[in-house]
Copies of this chain bind each other. A is one copy, B any other.
Amino acid sequence: MPITPDQQAEIDTLRANPQPTLRATAPGMEAHLYKAYDVLDHGFIRVIDYMGDDAAICQAARVSYGKGTKSVQNDEGLIRYLMRHWHSTPFEMCEIKLHVKLPVFVARQWIRHRTANVNEYSARYSILDREFYIPAPEHLAAQSVINNQGRGEALTGDEAARVLAYLKDDAARCYDHYAEMISDEGQQGLARELARMNLPANIYTQWYWKVDLHNLFHFLRLRADSHAQYEIRVYADEICKVVADWVPAAYGAFEDYRMGGATLSGKAIDCVRRMLKGEVVTQETSGMSKGEWREFEGVIG
């Protein structure tokens, strides 16, 4: 259970107390504020704050004084134009702050996105909770035999049972020793900043993560992608849902031009043109490598 009753009570208190503001508000996002959405076995994402909405993107693009006199339809057209033509700065005018609880090995991937602000729970200063990610059976995947960086089918039978036992037992033992090492009962107690090194990478950490909408879209494009590791993809998927409610027009454009789109190389465009003229193009006559051709076939169906 990711959230304790005490924590839930704090969240309920925050949600019970609206204040008047003159800032742009996004009703779809207000409905999400502070709530914890479960991810994996002990993780969550929570929206802590946000700045801006679809109209704010357009207002910045136009450098206008008020909300502008343009209609919602015009705003959507402008947003789609901006997205299509890689105008990134208007999307940077929206900002979101999330509270995320996630396994350390996921956090290590996540932090590679540098254009964001982060405050992580400090294991130098504080004691980590006894919570570890243990994959559900259907996610206990075998190494892919065709892609060094991918997964195959889920493990089954004895092998699955043995793996689960290792993951659970090792995490439990490492945590027991961690707790014992830092204990100051009848001993000095090891420094927390040292003891933490005994904890495996499936232990949960948490952080506040703040990012602008342009960089969030970049994160989501890479991490909500089908090639991303499952354990970070589920976080990205959950974030996608709240973003869709926050800035519906921008999210719609993102879905069409980024998530649902594809970049074709010069060679690939040439092949499409030839194929549309009726030519039968094969990998051999395409000028592409086998890998590129396979990916190209994936795009054109």
Report how far A198 CA is from B59 CA in the complex, Å: 28
Assess A261 versus B256: contact at CB under 8 Å? Given A63-B119, A198-B202, A272-B272. no
Q: How far is the CB of A105 from chain B (nearest CB, A)?
A: 5
Report how far A241 CA is from B280 CA in the complex, Å: 35
A1-16 with Cβ < 8 A to chain B: 7, 10-11, 13-15
What 1/0 flags go to A160-184 for Cβ under 8 Å of B? Answer: 0011001100110110010011101
Residues of chain B with a CB closer than 8 A to A93's CB: 97, 117, 119, 208, 210
Q: Which of B11, B63, B103, B289 contacts A197 (CB 8 A)?
A: B103
Max chain B Cβ within 10 angstroms of own Cβ: one of A48, A126, A292, A295: A48
Determine if B197 and A65 form an interchain contact, defined as CB atoms under 8 angstroms apart.
no
Q: How far is the CB of A174 from chain B (nearest CB, A)?
A: 5
Residues of chain B with a CB closer than 8 A to A255's CB: 266
Report how far A71 CA is from B11 CA in the complex, Å: 18
Determine if B265 and A143 form an interchain contact, defined as CB atoms under 8 angstroms apart.
no
Determine if A193 and B262 form an interchain contact, defined as CB atoms under 8 angstroms apart.
no
Report how far A148 CA is from B261 CA in the complex, Å: 27
Residues of A within 8 A of B (CB): 7, 10-11, 13-15, 17-25, 30, 33-34, 48-52, 56, 59-61, 63, 65-67, 77, 80-81, 84, 86, 89-90, 92-93, 95, 97, 99, 103-105, 108, 111-112, 114-115, 117-122, 124-126, 133, 135, 140-144, 148-153, 155, 159, 162-163, 166-167, 170-171, 173-174, 177, 180-182, 184, 187-194, 196-202, 206-208, 210, 212, 222, 229, 255-257, 259-269, 272-273, 275-276, 289, 291-292, 295, 299-301
Report how far A255 CA is from B267 CA in the complex, Å: 10
Which 8 interchain pairs have the tightest Cβ spacing? A260-B266, A10-B66, A92-B117, A197-B202, A18-B20, A142-B188, A114-B114, A166-B177
Q: How far is the CB of A209 from chain B (nearest CB, A)?
A: 10
Determine if A23 and B21 form an interchain contact, defined as CB atoms under 8 angstroms apart.
yes
- Who on chain B is nearest to A184 by CB? B143
